[in-house]
A and B are shown apart, each in its own frame.
Chain A
Amino acid sequence: MGATYASNGKPVDQRIAETELLRFATAGSVDDGKSTLIGRLLHDAKSILADQLAHVKETSERRGDGELNLALLTDGLRAEREQGITIDVAYRSFQTDKRRFIIADCPGHEQYTRNMVTGASTADLSLVLVDARNGLVRQSRRHAAISALLRTPHLVVAINKMDLVDYDQSVYDAIVADFRSWSAGLEFAEATFIPMSALKGDNVVEPSARMPWYDGPTLLHHLETVQIAGDRNLEDWRFPVQWVVRPQNDDRHHDYRGYAGQVAAGVLTPGEEVVVLPSGRTTRLAAIDTMDGPLEQAFPPQSVTLLLEDDLDISRGDLIARADESNPPTVARELEAIVCWMSDAPLRAGGRYALKHTTRAVRAVVEDVDWHLDVETLDRLDNSHGLSLNEIGHVRLRLSAPLAFDPYARNRETGSFILIDEATNDTVGAGLIAAPQD
């Protein structure tokens, strides 16, 4: 088959392939060059279209920033443009032939720790920026520590601005050694170090000729090839019931009763014996239904509808698990968790909040705050004041009804929750459930 041509004359593939989706989070201080790095990645991966580029060129010249200020590509809100800062997490997409990417671009100001937590919560990979001139500063350590806490499976440490240290290998080696010794106690699946200059384009998309001593991948090559399919929990079968599908006024589906939701973990196969929590009743998985027909198996993060053999009383908020699970979920009315606090009004013992976990909402009372973390070192500090904005600490909660949950370390989906202030309806806390006796 010959190539086809679009009406603008460019040859194109007959059909654009579907690829894998990788979500990654970046954070950095104002001067780390984060915006320039993202701009460089988008620009060199040819994800910036002509009108966007023309706009940035025009703005760069008007502001006297030189010919092309790549950082302007990611400017969002007017207040940000006026103040030259980033206020909120921005999500940007781009794609190459190999993968489709979503970047969670998090501001690096100290008061925005909550944004780093937000960005890391859905990321497959964290990209931590280090300015080669300054080494591992507070902000880079904070981002790496939060990524470890949130169990982002992969970490890239981008040692940027190598052009300003004459592409000197000893500077790079010292930062790598410093990071390794500092992070010895943190758990990452892997950490990859890449020396680069976002401004000059070294090792972002194109390999650098100026750092022959570095034989690792460019940033884009690493993003395109890092293995992520194995990051999800495919062992412990978990299905939070989100919605009960019951067709009304339809004779063909009179007896249809389906439990819709997104697979949180495990590989589901019809015929397996299942348990519905918290009630503990058991039945068998009869079929996995979708609008496009039944599936032989379902796995995370597919959204499907389960049909069960027996007509049990099941509703939103119930958790369906495999009956003979070797790692069964914990069903309890109290839990311990690491909580990141996101509100100006502090969390204190005795405080009451709504807690949303998977598809279930309950009320929670704070029994105690045991300790909080130095977010740079992850050292535990004594706590008597509760948690103030952007603090992360260990909290014991008592619940109004039982929850079926897993440790966050075992399963992000069934191990996380948010706290909601019922007076303001704001989301005020993010919780990571601790393993028993942690």
Chain B
Amino acid sequence: MSYELSHLDALEAEAIHIMREVAAELERPVLLFSGGKDSIVLLRLAEKAFRPARFPFPVMHVDTGHNFPEVIEFRDRLVSEIGERLIVASVQESIDKGRAVEETGPRASRNRLQTVTLLDAIEEHGFDAAFGGARRDEERARAKERIFSFRDDFGQWDPKAQRPELWQLYNGRVRKGEHVRVFPISNWTELDVWQYIERERLQLPPIYFAHEREVFARDGMLYAASEFVELLDGEEVFTETVRYRTVGDMTCTGAVASTAATLETVVAEIAATDITERGQTRADDRVTEAAMEDRKREGYF
């Protein structure tokens, strides 16, 4: 017998180890769930870490109110199927309470407002650790972030004052009001995630597969026509066969023209792609060169 693990097995074992460390060392963890593929993988890893017992933490979704309805429906079904607790933190409520101010205009997005809702929810529930599905391959600032990423009591990330992370010895110590963001799939790539979804036969929201949708073109990307977006002069709505490569708000997540309607064909497309998922589908990272770094410092996911 050869005692070799495949890369997916090694990455899975690392992620399970990380989740158990958090459960053991922190008092009130929460798993942040967006309904996207990365957080769906996180849920499966949590099942692998804690079954046959229930998760020693709840699952929380920060609902912007601009999510795809298919994703919300999927979220509720999946969390109920696996028998775990779901908390929904609402950006609309933050706006109604005056904690956040809605952007206006045709390019308005609630993407940045999520940070307020997230930090409020962390404080309200007293969470001291929050699992996220971020990966180091997504974006340049993420490549330098630790697996246990310390946040001060304003929720801020300081890239120059990160705790050294050696061997598999994680330091999750926090004081009251501080928390750690923990990224168990830091070392996974987009392709690893898709291969894992295929291997584990994980369910995904239907928008990840090719479907007909009313869209409009802006800045070289296709966006879903919806009540949340105003069209600019000259923009027209048309029907296209598309799928989504990432799941965010309807206002800032671009679709990919594709006829890949099965998991196998989607994985094949990802393996052959020549453009990154954020470059292809996320308007939120295009604003400035350091867009993600700025949002992360403020306490974004």
A residues lining the B interface (CB < 8 Å): 4, 6-8, 10-16, 18-21, 49-52, 75-79, 81, 87-93, 95, 99-100, 102, 114-115, 117-118, 121-122, 229, 232, 234, 242-243, 245-248, 250, 252-253, 256, 260-262, 267, 290-292, 297, 299-303, 316, 342, 354, 356-357, 359, 412-413, 416-418, 420, 425-427, 430
Q: How far is the CA of A232 from the CA of B5 in the complex (A)?
A: 12
Contact check: which of A91, A246, A342, A359 meets B53 at CB < 8 Å? A246
Q: How far is the CA of A430 from the CA of B5 in the complex (A)?
A: 28
| Nearest residue, chain B, Cβ from A247 | B53
Task: Mark each residue of chain B from 1 to 37: 1 if its CB lies under 8 Å from any CB of chain A, else 0.
Answer: 1111111111111101100110110000000000000
Residues in A whose Cβ lies below 8 Å from that of B14:
301, 303
Residues in B whose Cβ lies below 8 Å from that of A253:
52-53
| A427 and B24 contact, CB distance less than 8 A | no
| Nearest residue, chain B, Cβ from A78 | B290
A–B pairs, 19, beta carbons within 8 Å: A8-B274, A16-B191, A20-B6, A49-B274, A49-B276, A50-B274, A78-B290, A79-B160, A89-B144, A93-B189, A121-B166, A229-B3, A243-B20, A250-B53, A262-B168, A291-B48, A303-B48, A416-B167, A427-B166
Which of B16, B276, B293 has the most chain A CB atoms inside 10 A of its CB?
B16
| Nearest residue, chain A, Cβ from B166 | A121
The size bracket of the interface on B is 35 or more
| Nearest residue, chain B, Cβ from A426 | B163
Interface residue stretch chosen among B72-80, B225-233, B260-268: B260-268
B54 within 8 A of A: yes
| B171 and A427 contact, CB distance less than 8 A | yes
| B265 and A303 contact, CB distance less than 8 A | no
Residues in A whose Cβ lies below 8 Å from that of B3:
229, 232, 234, 267, 299-300
| A18 and B6 contact, CB distance less than 8 A | yes
| B169 and A418 contact, CB distance less than 8 A | yes
B165 within 8 A of A: yes
| B267 and A16 contact, CB distance less than 8 A | yes
Number of A-B contacts (CB under 8 A): 222
Residues in A whose Cβ lies below 8 Å from that of B272:
6, 8, 10-12
| Nearest residue, chain A, Cβ from B269 | A6
B258 within 8 A of A: yes
Which of A7, A250, A359 has the most chain B CB atoms inside 10 A of its CB?
A7
| A51 and B275 contact, CB distance less than 8 A | yes
Residues in A whose Cβ lies below 8 Å from that of B141:
76-77
Task: Mark each residue of chain B from 59 to 90: 1 if its CB lies under 8 Å from any CB of chain A, else 0.
Answer: 00000000000000000000000000000000
Q: Nearest Cβ in chain B — how far from A250, in angstroms? A: 7
Contact check: which of B11, B50, B159 meets A88 at CB < 8 Å? B159
Task: Mark each residue of chain B from 246 to 281: 1 if its CB lies under 8 Å from any CB of chain A, else 0.
Answer: 000000000001111000110111011111100110
Q: Which chain B residues numbered 167 to 212 have a C-beta less than 8 Å away from chain A?
A: 167-169, 171, 173-175, 186-189, 191-192, 195, 199
Q: Nearest Cβ in chain A — how far from B133, in angstroms? A: 16
B136 within 8 A of A: yes
**Given A229-B3, A243-B20 in contact, is the A430-B166 Cβ separation under 8 Å?**
yes
| B2 and A229 contact, CB distance less than 8 A | yes
| A95 and B53 contact, CB distance less than 8 A | no
Q: How far is the CA of A115 from the CA of B162 in the complex (A)?
A: 11
Q: How far is the CA of A354 from the CA of B25 in the complex (A)?
A: 14
Residues in B whose Cβ lies below 8 Å from that of A89:
144
B234 within 8 A of A: no
Q: How far is the CA of A250 from the CA of B264 in the complex (A)?
A: 36
| B54 and A247 contact, CB distance less than 8 A | yes
Q: How far is the CA of A268 from the CA of B187 in the complex (A)?
A: 27
| A91 and B13 contact, CB distance less than 8 A | no
Contact check: which of A87, A256, A418 meets B52 at CB < 8 Å? A256
B125 within 8 A of A: no
